[in-house]
Structure 1
Amino acid sequence: MGILSLFTSCSGRKEKLVKKEGSALNEFEVEKSKFYLDADTLGNIVSFNKGNDTIEICTKRFDIAAFERHKKDHENSSYVKYTEIVSNDTLINYIKHKAPNNVEYAIIKHPKESYLSYESIYYENGNIKSEKTYGPGNGMLIGISRYYSIDGELQREVNEDEGYSFTFKQLMSLLDEKGMCFPKDVDLDYRYQINKIIGEDGLKTYFVIYPLSDETDLTITVSGKDGSIIDEHRYQHQYY
């Protein structure tokens, strides 16, 4: 298994079920769970037993000793990282952040043919801290984000797509139709941006920036409710 054995399996403890914010996983949460199982890196996914209103806690752990033994690709006083590409062409970054009085570990996975990146953050003791899915560009959160206690117990879940009936997948199809084709690149140029914006009237929208040339960008605002284009214009890109 090599470095992909950085994790251990579930503990057998059961705790009260954390109340879910949505009744079902959206398509990106399902895809995320499939990816973890296929990669065989995180052991068992947290499973809910709705019959007796309990949750079986899975302690997802980062193998710190294995990380420290591995050859590092980059290291300085605050940051350590190495990278590998697994058989399905998924790029994986293993990271150690060394802030004053705080050490955290991270694993960031980016499948080759995907707009999405999957981030797992770990406490200094190796227990899972959070799991998030990011869209392309400026770190827009997608799907279900999970947050854990320092003991590795699930504390809360956040549906990052709440209020967005027009899904991320539909948005990317719309952009493709308009010729705004986002590269599936983990190191995407900063001029490619997708953000979720909530207006003063509470309207949830996507705000997209797309480079047309070295000098010109196109911006569009898309309704998160029905996918209609609310605003669109070009502007000259400013260099400083």
Structure 2
Amino acid sequence: MKILIVVMGILSLFSSCTNRKVKLTEEVDSVQNGFEVKENKSRLDNDTLPSNMFSSNKGNDTIGVCTKRFDIAAFERHKKDYENSTYVGYTEIVANDTLINYLKDKTLGYVQYATIKHPKESYLSYESIYYENGNIKSEKTYGPGNGMLMGISRYYSVDGELQREVNEDDGYSFTFEQLINLLNEKGMYFPKDVDLNYRYQINKLIAEDGAKIYFVIYPLSDETDLAITVSGKDGFIIEEHRYSHQYY
């Protein structure tokens, strides 16, 4: 129960976040991004982008989605779908119904770009952040809901040189694919939707004893959610609890 109480307090902070597509932060080591799937080590053969990733078909205004550089000139020429005091950007749907967001962050005191790719039949989003000069800054892959990190995250210098890699699956013998199968067996079906309601959550956490765990929230009705804690080692369900989401 201690795990649940602590986690519920943490997750309450995300209750107003319903559109992860346009979330860019400058927190150290937590800038959202994705990575080239040919180097993906997340072990999800059916949930990765092909290594020969495609580009959109808009002629000279196409931004290559498999490059390590962001095509700033093409971005600036392209008609924007949305713009506010925080972001400017547009969305495209390319081959295999993969949705791609192109973004420009205007809140940091300097410019930062991003591409966020979400294949239609995938739980995963592949997000890349770029420096103001267009060079790749970092690459990450996110799971559904609030977006736990998966696979290998990579961080680059302003010159585009790889600085370090982080295995986000370290310590998790029970894989994400196995977790999804477990949830399906319990009738907890996560939609493959880029804009999941905040009540759908899968997070990786560390328990008080140092064990790696998954913490999952799933809506049962308009008023009730189910929260379960699953061992990242063997998939054992440590704790299961129903609660009214109106209090969080």
Normalised TM-score (structure 2): 0.76
Identity fraction in percent? 76
Aligned match of 1:74 in 69, 82, 87?
82
Q: CA deviation at 1:31?
A: 5.9
Equivalences for 1:85-234 in 2 at 5 Å?
85-234=93-242
Equivalences for 1:36-55 in 2 at 5 Å?
36-39=51-54, 41-43=64-66
- Mapped to 1, the partners of 2:94 and 2:114 lie a distance apart of 17
Question: Equivalent residue for 2:27?
Answer: none
Q: CA deviation at 1:42?
A: 4.7
Deviations 1:53-87 (A, max 9, x none): xxxxxxx1111000000000001233101001012
Question: Equivalent residue for 2:245?
Answer: 237
Which of 1 and 2 has higher RCO (CA within 8 Å, sep 6+)?
2
Deviations 1:150-189 (A, max 9, x none): 0001110000000000000100010011000001100001
In terms of fraction of residues, the more strand-rich structure is 1
Do the aligned partners of 1:73 and 1:83 also contact (CA within 8 Å) in 2? yes
Normalised TM-score (structure 1): 0.79
Deviations 1:178-227 (A, max 9, x none): 00000110000110001111011101100000000001111100000000
- Counterpart code for 1:38: M
Do the aligned partners of 2:47 and 2:122 also contact (CA within 8 Å) in 1? no
Q: Where do 5+ consecutive residues of structure 1 fail to align?
A: 1-23, 45-59
Do the aligned partners of 1:26 and 1:143 also contact (CA within 8 Å) in 2? yes
- Counterpart code for 2:120: K
Which one is further off, 34-43 or 114-123? Answer: 34-43
SS of match in other structure, 2:111? strand
- Mapped to 1, the partners of 2:80 and 2:165 lie a distance apart of 33
Do the aligned partners of 1:61 and 1:126 also contact (CA within 8 Å) in 2? yes
Do the aligned partners of 1:28 and 1:143 also contact (CA within 8 Å) in 2? no
Q: CA deviation at 1:233?
A: 1.5
Do the aligned partners of 1:29 and 1:143 also contact (CA within 8 Å) in 2? no
RMSD: 1.9
Do the aligned partners of 1:36 and 1:42 also contact (CA within 8 Å) in 2? no
**Structure exhibiting the larger radius of gyration computed from Cα positions:** 1
Equivalences for 1:3-82 in 2 at 5 Å?
25-28=41-44, 32=48, 34-39=49-54, 41-43=64-66, 60-82=68-90
Q: CA deviation at 1:26?
A: 3.6
